[in-house]
Amino acid sequence: MQSLIYDFETLGTNPRESAIVSLAALVFDSSKFHNGYDYDELLGMTRFVKFDVEDQVRNHGRTIDPDTLVWWSELGPGPMEQLKPSPNDMSIVELHDWITSIADPQTVERVYTRGNTFDPLFLESILDGDPYPFWKLRDTRSTIEGMTLLNPKIKNAFIVPGFEDKFIPHDARHDVVMDVLRLQYFIQE
């Protein structure tokens, strides 16, 4: 079953106004969970784009929340690197073509995000509508918490054993990979 998972990193929590920093998207096949994906394999399959924040503020009415900037600065120098402008930064007007080139809305069977009250709302706001039908949307946070009933010692944001040294928090690429590995972990359990 072909599924898309995506994750935004943002400069605020208001999906209608906040600027987006980056987006990672990964198409995976849940039928491969029994044999198991490897962390590096999934990371290599992940597509990533960094956005032009200045363009969003200047031309698209997006904002930067000062408290979110403070939060980013408290994460340390590694995560702050994501906020530096790059000549390869993409305009948000290219987002529709980018995301639908990764997963065709008509053929992808499921679309996962960490929470359906955050990432899908950003996508919908920027694109003025979500290209993926609502019935395909899934929420990994709820799925994982439902699965933790099998093992209540595990928390929703657990790091899958064996991948502690590979995971980089607040990097959208690593966030989507870890969520896929969390789903896989419970299937294998």
- 38-45 long-range contacts (CB < 8 A, ≥24 apart) are 39/163, 39/166, 39/177, 39/181, 40/166, 42/176, 42/177, 42/180, 42/181, 43/166, 43/173, 43/174, 43/177
Runs of H (alpha helix) within the chain: 39-45, 53-60, 66-74, 77-80, 95-102, 119-127, 140-147, 172-188
pLDDT in tens, the chain (189 residues): 899 999 999 999 999 999 999 999 999 999 999 999 999 999 999 999 999 999 999 999 999 999 999 999 998 887 888 899 999 999 999 999 999 999 999 999 999 999 899 999 999 999 999 999 999 999 999 888 888 777 777 888 899 999 999 999 889 999 999 999 999 998 887
The predicted model scores a pTM of 0.94
Q: Amino acid letter at 46?
A: T
CATH code for the structural domain at 2-188: 3.30.420.10
Q: Quick one: 28 exposed, middle or buried, by C-beta within 10 A (0-12, 13-18, 19+)?
A: buried
* Domain boundary assignment for the chain: 2-188
